[in-house]
Amino acid sequence: MLSDWRVIYIGGVFISLFLFIILISKRKKSIADKILSAWFFFAVVHQALIGWYAFNKMSDMPALIGWELPFPFLHGPFLYLYILFLTGQQRHGWRNIFHFTPAVLAAVLLAPVLPVMTVQEKLGAVPSKFTPLFHAMVWGIIISGVVYVILSLYLLRRHRQNVAVQFSNTDKITLNWLRYLIGGMSVIWIVVIFFESAASLYLVVALFIFFIGYFGIRQVGIFSSPLPAHEVYLPALVRLAEPEPEEAREAEADETSQKVKYEKSSLTDVEATRIHAALTALMREQQCYKDAGLTLGDLAKTLNVHPAVLSQVINSKEGSSFYDYINVLRVEALKQLLLQPGSQQYTLLSLAFECGFNSKTSFNRNFKKITQLSPSAYVKAMHINMQEED
Q: Give me the CATH code for the 235-381 domain, please.
A: 1.10.10.60
pLDDT at residue number 244? 39
Q: How far apart are CA 377 and CA 371, in angstroms?
A: 10
Q: 352 burial class (0-12, 13-18, 19+ CB within 10 angstroms)?
A: buried
Q: How far apart are CA 46 and CA 13, in angstroms?
A: 8
Q: How far apart are CA 271 and CA 363, in angstroms?
A: 33
pLDDT one-digit tens code per residue, 193-202: 777 666 666 6
What is the mean predicted confidence (pLDDT) over 347-368? 89
Question: Which SS3 state, helix, strand or coil, does residue 212 take?
Answer: helix
Q: How confident is the model at residue 59 (pLDDT cuts 50, 70, 90)?
A: low
DSSP 305: S
pLDDT at residue number 262? 43
pLDDT at residue number 101? 95
> Could you tell me which of 93, 55, 48, 54 has the C-alpha nearest to residue 71?
48
Q: Which segments of the chain does DSSP mark as H helices, in order? A: 6-24, 31-54, 72-86, 101-113, 119-122, 131-166, 176-194, 198-218, 235-238, 245-250, 254-265, 269-286, 296-303, 307-317, 322-338, 348-354, 360-371, 375-381
What is the mean predicted confidence (pLDDT) over 115-121? 85
Q: What is the pTM of this model?
A: 0.67
Q: How confident is the model at residue 166 (pLDDT cuts 50, 70, 90)?
A: confident
Query: In the chain, helix, strand, coil percent, each to 5?
Result: 70, 0, 30
Q: Tell which phi-psi region holds residue 382, choosing left (phi > 0), alpha (psi between -120 and 50) or beta.
A: alpha
Amino acid at site 252 = E
Q: How confident is the model at residue 256 (pLDDT cuts 50, 70, 90)?
A: very low
pLDDT at residue number 108? 95
pLDDT one-digit tens code per residue, 67-83: 888 998 998 999 899 88
pLDDT one-digit tens code per residue, 183-192: 888 888 887 7
pLDDT one-digit tens code per residue, 263-322: 445 678 889 999 999 999 999 999 999 988 888 888 888 999 888 889 889 988 888 888
pLDDT one-digit tens code per residue, 296-306: 888 888 999 88
Amino acid at site 60 = D
CA distances from 189 to 11, 144, 199 (A): 21, 10, 14
1 has a pLDDT exceeding 90? no
CB neighbour burial string for 129-147, b if at least 16 within 10 angstroms, e if fewer: ebeeebeebeebbeebbbe
